[in-house]
Amino acid sequence: MKISRDKLIENRQRILDAAARMFRERGFEAVTVSEVMKAADLTHGGFYNHFKSKDDLIAKTFAHALLPAPTNDGSAEPAMVDYARAYLSGAHRDAPGSGCMLSALAAEGARCNDETRKVMGEATRAQIARFAATAPGTTAEARRRAAIARWSAMLGAVILARAIDDTALSDEILSATLEAVEAPGS
Amino acid sequence: MKISRDKLIENRQRILDAAARMFRERGFEAVTVSEVMKAADLTHGGFYNHFKSKDDLIAKTFAHALLPAPTNDGSAEPAMVDYARAYLSGAHRDAPGSGCMLSALAAEGARCNDETRKVMGEATRAQIARFAATAPGTTAEARRRAAIARWSAMLGAVILARAIDDTALSDEILSATLEAVEAPGS
DNA sequence: TGTACATCAGTGAACGCGCGTTCACTGATGTAC
DNA sequence: TGTACATCAGTGAACGCGCGTTCACTGATGTAC
């Protein structure tokens, strides 16, 4: 039956939230459209009222989870050092479902449609600009390049820490990378 | 028909080579068993003479492509700086099929079977030991931690450079990370 | 405000396709004598 | 060395399953009057 406009929007958000969590946990291909709809308390048939295809859902999920609240105006951004600590924590490593979209899905996203790659580009530009504000360096260019190297290290460290079976080494990867990212001279 | 023992071993190598290339290019789930066998000039029915399942192929492919020629004895390893230059090049970014297994498949591998995660752990330990030999630092521990941070940055940079649609930014990610990894003070 | 009706998001059965996997068969290989 | 035969990697048709997607139908919503 038809539902209210508010309910429609709420349903769409629930689909995107469920998809974002499940995709990050298990990847795009292992998650089915039916599973996402079920997790959103809906039946699979209604999926195509919201999205053109599963590929479309992937692109929209990336935008939904990667570009939330466009520059949350004025609200205090966590300092770079706090952000890095949370990012390079065991908690973030162990909870990909609620973590960084890129650390879970950047490689798979690279093989997706153009819309997805475009969103990842935008998110990367935003992240670099954010980090550059507090990166070391005497010129804006140097700070920007330092920000890029730090963001690469953080992303790579979480991906690596999640990939391996050795917990001690995994912890070490996170802490050694945090140390390098925090070091003022780096 | 039955084939010679040499041919059997050669066929298995061709299957693994084809799988390694195709998986890196397109991911585990997008590549079918039939496609791999076809690329190895075989028919799909014979697949199970070589591997227990597709999951088994994934684990064996990781071992095949990630741990090749166990410590190629004596033959000169490229210096860290040369390795980093090749790793953080546009050529490597644009040819995942013949590139680093981890930069293409670490995130997906993390969601695979234990054998795969174990192989990734071994490869990571080897890579860190290799980088630590030439990393900066006054103690072995400091060099090891610097090596971890550098390897994380290289891995993250290639994954990020492949993910985004903006060629100029992609190039910048590679060059800024190379600069940081080459810097003696880092 | 109240009433009549067109709209359309949600439902769940159904479809076609292609995947991983199995299997009966083939015939060159490798071995026993 | 030569011969007879058991082995087993490769072949390709077939299987069952579950995926993404479609569709006829439902009935509450939102609108026109």
Distance, in angstroms, between B145 CA and closest chain A CA?
Answer: 5
Higher pLDDT, B48 or B185: B48
Per-10-residue mean pLDDT, chain A, length 186: 91 98 98 98 97 97 82 63 95 98 98 96 96 93 97 98 98 98 72
Task: Extract the tokens encoding A81.
Answer: 């050092």
Q: Are B75 and B65 in contact (CB under 8 A)?
A: no
Residue of B148, B54, B103 whose CA lies nearest to A157? B148
Mean pLDDT along residues B27-38: 98
pLDDT of residue A1: 73
Give Cβ neighbours of residue A65 (< 8 Å, ≥ 6 apart).
Answer: A16, A20, A24, A101
Q: Can you tell me the distance from the alpha carbon of B64 to that of B120, in angstroms, rounded to the nearest whole number?
A: 12
Mean pLDDT in residue range B151-162: 98
B121: contact with A, CB 8 A cutoff? yes
The amino acid occupying position B113 is: N
Nucleotide minimizing C1' to CA distance for residue B11: D9
Checking if the pLDDT of B164 tops 50, the result is yes
Please check whether residue A117 touches B, CB under 8 A. yes
Closest approach of A128 to chain B, Cα-based (Å): 10
Q: Which residues of B touch A111 (CB under 8 A)?
A: 26-27, 30
Give exposure, B112-151, as e/b (b: 16+ Cβ within 10 Å): beebbbbbbbbbbeebbebbbeebeeeeeeebbbbbbbbb
* CA B92 distance to own-chain centroid: 11
By the CB < 8 Å criterion, does A160 face chain B?
yes
**Would you place residue B71 in the very low, low, confident or very high pLDDT band (cuts 50, 70, 90)?**
very low
- Place B78 in a pLDDT band, splitting at 50, 70 and 90: confident
Find the Å distance, CA of residue A114 to C1' of nucleotide D16: 36
Tell me the average pLDDT of chain B.
Answer: 93
